[in-house]
């Protein structure tokens, strides 16, 4: 008998900052909507294990889009995108996610993202607390400044597309199953050449909540921050610093995990994330009851 994944993919047209994008997204399950954001230079395949988890899909509507220029979301057909170097901004990311939630008519979804997507979790909590019921920032931090000089090497004519996955490999935990670490790195070898660097312009340069994280109101939006022990890019101390600034947030260290917990060690990650998502989903119910 043939075996099929319980995941479906389709395209939605979104207009973001005046430009129309054909955006690919996958979804699985039903229940409280959870929007999943991939890491820099990657795509929604990172979430495939979570998307195929029957227990999660039984309680949550899991939605994972490819950002424009990533995966199956092509650059916008109406723009001469080849005349400028690709760069991602916080403003675009925020507008993109609100447009996606609106287009899919999501009722106060949970937002969950990793790395760049983790940074965005805190940015969403600060800027759109009424649109989402909770955010889960995996490998989130106040900022990731200090390594900007690596950026030119990540989009360089004399450096191939094998270098990015090799560096991503080093962000994984030695305790993670090798087959999933290799898969995690493989996806990075398939990103368009300028995209990883362009995304890191947001991750390393643009994102900075040093002066504003304390303004996040956790009575309006739940905030979870998860930090992996082996993540040298956003180490647990960085996640703890962000959590310390956000009163009422939840901070969870992840011993033995690396920068990509959902894809490099999916079995262990599901045990971590399932109770968090259940608790986050209840925040929405409380809002409905009290409202």
Which residues lie near other proteins (CB under 8 A)? 153, 156, 158-160, 162-163, 165-167, 169-170, 172-175, 229-230, 232, 235
- By beta-carbon proximity to other proteins, the closer residue of 49 and 259 is 259
Q: How far is the CB of 147 from other proteins (least distance, A)?
A: 8
- By beta-carbon proximity to other proteins, the closer residue of 148 and 279 is 148
Q: What separation in angstroms does the CA of 243 have from each of 122, 157, 182, 215?
A: 10, 39, 31, 12
Q: How far is the CB of 128 from other proteins (least distance, A)?
A: 33
Question: Please, which contacts does 102-105 make with residues 24 or more away whose CB atoms are closer than 8 Å?
Answer: 103/12, 103/14, 104/12, 104/25, 104/33, 104/63
Q: Which residues contact 114 (CB under 8 A, 6 or more apart)?
A: 37, 38, 39, 46, 138, 139, 259, 260, 261, 262
Three-class secondary structure of residue 262 per DSSP: helix
- By beta-carbon proximity to other proteins, the closer residue of 160 and 248 is 160
Q: How far is the CB of 159 from other proteins (least distance, A)?
A: 5
Q: How far is the CB of 234 from other proteins (least distance, A)?
A: 12
> Per the structure block, which two tokens stand in for 270?
């599901």
DSSP assigned state of 46: G
Three-class secondary structure of residue 173 per DSSP: coil
- By beta-carbon proximity to other proteins, the closer residue of 111 and 230 is 230
- By beta-carbon proximity to other proteins, the closer residue of 252 and 282 is 252
d(CA 180, CA 189): 15
Q: How far is the CB of 257 from other proteins (least distance, A)?
A: 10
């Amino acid at each position: 008998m043939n075996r099929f994944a319980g995941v479906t993919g389709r395209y939605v047209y979104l207009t973001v900052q005046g430009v129309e994008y054909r955006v690919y997204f996958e979804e699985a399950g039903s229940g409280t909507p959870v929007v999943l954001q991939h890491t820099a230079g990657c795509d929604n395949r990172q979430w495939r294990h979570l998307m195929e988890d029957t227990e999660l899909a039984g309680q949550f509507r899991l939605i994972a889009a490819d950002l424009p220029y990533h995966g199956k979301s092509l650059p916008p057909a109406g723009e001469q995108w080849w005349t400028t170097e690709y760069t991602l901004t916080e403003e675009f990311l925020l507008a993109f996610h609100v447009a996606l939630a609106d287009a899919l008519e999501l009722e106060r979804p949970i937002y969950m993202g990793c790395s760049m997507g983790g940074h965005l979790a805190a940015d969403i909590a600060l800027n759109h607390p009424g649109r989402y019921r909770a955010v889960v920032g995996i490998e989130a931090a106040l900022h990731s400044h200090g390594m900007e000089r690596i950026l030119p090497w990540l989009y360089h004519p004399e450096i191939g597309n094998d270098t990015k996955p090799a560096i991503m490999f080093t962000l994984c935990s030695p305790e993670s199953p090798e087959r999933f670490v290799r898969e995690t790195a493989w996806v990075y070898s398939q990103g368009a050449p300028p995209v990883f660097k362009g995304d890191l312009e947001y991750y390393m340069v643009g994102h900075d909540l040093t002066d504003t994280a304390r303004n996040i109101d956790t009575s309006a939006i739940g905030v979870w921050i998860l930090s992996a022990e082996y993540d040298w890019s956003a180490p647990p101390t960085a996640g703890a610093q962000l959590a310390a600034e956000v009163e009422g947030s939840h901070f969870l260290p992840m011993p033995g995990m690396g920068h990509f917990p959902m894809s490099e060690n999916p079995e262990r990650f599901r045990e971590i994330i399932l109770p968090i998502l259940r608790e986050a989903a209840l925040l929405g119910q409380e809002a409905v009851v009290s409202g």
